């Protein structure tokens, strides 16, 4: 299950990256903001794992998987893996901050280069 989630995340990131390059009619700042959203996903996944674990009455921590049964299926390993993903934020959040500044610069420059309305 965990391998499937990792592969699904990589496929989603690859698809969004391809779409950001392929569809050039989308303004540059919008593409940069989409990249920022992708870089924040690991932290969001960790928060979601904590919320789901709390709602189900399970223990979710970084030490390892604890049993968490939902409909007879143990999802403790998946929640444990998702709980560790925010550590990836040490790499993605600074890049997201830089990309956010680039998006802001692109947005400001695009607003200045538009011709005045007639």
Contact between 33 and 20 under an 8 Å Cβ cutoff? The reply is: no
pLDDT of residue 3: 67
Question: Is residue 47 in some structural domain?
Answer: yes
Q: Is 32 exposed, middle or buried, given 0-12, 13-18 or 19+ CB atoms closer than 10 A?
A: buried
Contact between 100 and 36 under an 8 Å Cβ cutoff? The reply is: yes
Question: Is residue 95 in some structural domain?
Answer: yes
Question: Is residue 16 in some structural domain?
Answer: yes
Task: Report residue 46's pLDDT band, with 50, 70 and 90 as the boundaries.
Answer: confident
Is residue 1 over pLDDT 60? no
Q: Please give the average per-residue pLDDT across 10-27, as a whole number.
A: 63
pLDDT per position as a tens digit, 61-110 = 888 778 888 888 888 888 888 888 888 878 877 877 887 787 778 777 77
Question: Is residue 118 in some structural domain?
Answer: no
Query: Which residue range is the domain that position 94 belongs to?
Result: 2-113
Q: How many domains does the chain have?
A: 1
Query: What is this structure's pTM?
Result: 0.60
């Amino acid at each position: 299950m965990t391998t499937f989630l990792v592969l699904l995340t990589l496929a989603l990131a690859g698809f969004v990256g391809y779409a950001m390059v392929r569809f050039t009619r989308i303004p540059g700042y919008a593409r940069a903001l989409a990249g920022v959203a992708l870089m924040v996903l690991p932290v969001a996944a960790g928060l979601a794992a904590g919320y789901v674990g709390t709602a189900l009455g399970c223990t979710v921590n970084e030490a390892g998987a604890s049993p968490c049964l939902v409909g007879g299926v143990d999802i403790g390993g998946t929640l444990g893996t998702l709980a560790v993903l925010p550590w990836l934020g040490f790499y993605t959040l600074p890049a997201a901050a830089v990309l956010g500044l680039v998006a802001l610069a692109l947005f400001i420059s695009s607003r200045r280069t538009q011709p005045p309305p007639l």
